[in-house]
Amino acid sequence: MRAKVLFLFLMGTESKPDIDLLAIVGHTAGGKTALAASVAHALDGEVICADSRQIYRGMDLGTGKDYDDYIVEGDMVPAHLMDIRDAGKRYSLFDFQEDFRRVYSDISLRGKQPLLCGGTGMYVESVLRDFHMKAVPVDEKFRQSCESRSDAELTLELGSMVMLHNKTDIEERSRLIRALEIARYNQSHPERENQNGLKFKVFGVRYEVEERRNRITQRLKQRLDEGMIDEVRQLLTYVSPDDLMYYGLEYKFLTLHCLGRLTYDEMFRQLNTAIHQFAKRQMTWFRGMERRGIPITWLAGELSFSGKVEFIISNWLANAH
């Protein structure tokens, strides 16, 4: 690969790019994983996964864990923060920040290039801006006060305090109450941005809407053919339906199908639509990141794979001092 040759040539000089962290973001089905793995391989780096569902063991096809994408030129590129929790467990933004800092420090101390990759924009932004997050405690008194209030009332209050990016936060009463509990706590204990001086460069991959839709639909068909329904059936042997549906998208609609509440065609149609809507929300978040001061260098998805890899490497090298 020309990119790796160029990197090795530079490392033979005294120059070194002044970037602590590379990040690759974008919508689902955009090819981020393979791109990140190839760039990491070229830079003698390691990937840190920023995906809120790939942390779970056994949730593979439904979360898009493309393990083969981490094999580059016969080498397995190290990837972190995948398969670190049992399915059914909860994992917060606070947990991710703690895990990221630990892994990032380890990679950097070993002289490797950390590369953050994922589509969970909230995770990416939280570490790039170094938010000081808090583990929000349970407020039993507040929860008791919610017992006499309707879901509509609670949703209205939550909407007045935060932007509702994730519909699943208001579709289940327990999640709605927890989301409101967190929002109320954060209002009285505001986050602060630590400004840790992390030097980063963010690249994004995006396809035109029609091509994005085609890629999403084709990938959904492929993963169903590869056994995604069987994966959900296996998970249901030790994870409750409610807990599995908590993770949304594939796990919500496939669980409903496995329970006999949706036919196959209904499941496919509704899930396909939900993933398209999710991809749109992802792009909305990344545009918001740009407005909030995080520049993203966007690459057209239609550019050849090698072209994308070489563009990122050459951009990285341009920061050599």
- Which residue, among 89, 97, 132, 135, has the nearest Cα to 116 in the 3D structure? 97
Average pLDDT value for residue range 151-162: 75
* Domain spans, the chain: 2-133+195-209+284-317, 140-188
* pLDDT score for 195: 56
* pLDDT score for 113: 95
- Cβ-in-10-Å burial (0-12, 13-18, 19+) of 255 comes to buried
Residue pair 313/3 in contact (Cβ under 8 Å)? The answer is yes
* pLDDT score for 13: 47
Tell me yes or no: is domain 2-133+195-209+284-317 CATH 1.10.150.120: no
* pLDDT score for 148: 87
Per-residue pLDDT of 197-255, as tens digits, reads 789 999 999 999 999 999 999 999 999 999 999 999 999 999 999 999 989 899 999 99
Per-residue pLDDT of 64-115, as tens digits, reads 998 999 999 999 999 999 999 999 888 888 899 999 999 999 999 999 999 9
> Mean pLDDT across the chain, nearest whole number?
87
Whether the pLDDT of residue 294 is over 90: the answer is yes
- Report the distance separating Cα 47 and Cα 118, nearest Å: 10
Return the H-helix or E-strand segment holding 229. helix 228-235
- Report the distance separating Cα 279 and Cα 75, nearest Å: 31
Whether the pLDDT of residue 301 is over 60: the answer is yes
Per-residue pLDDT of 272-283, as tens digits, reads 999 999 999 999
- Report the distance separating Cα 36 and Cα 287, nearest Å: 21
Whether the pLDDT of residue 196 is over 70: the answer is no
What is the pLDDT confidence band of residue 165, given thresholds at 50, 70 and 90? Answer: very low
* pLDDT score for 4: 52
- Report the distance separating Cα 271 and Cα 253, nearest Å: 6
What is the pLDDT confidence band of residue 175, given thresholds at 50, 70 and 90? Answer: confident
Predicted TM-score of the model (pTM): 0.82
Q: What percent of the chain has pLDDT over 90?
A: 66
Residue pair 251/62 in contact (Cβ under 8 Å)? The answer is yes
Taking every pair of Cα atoms in the chain, the longest distance, rounded to a whole number of angstroms, is 69
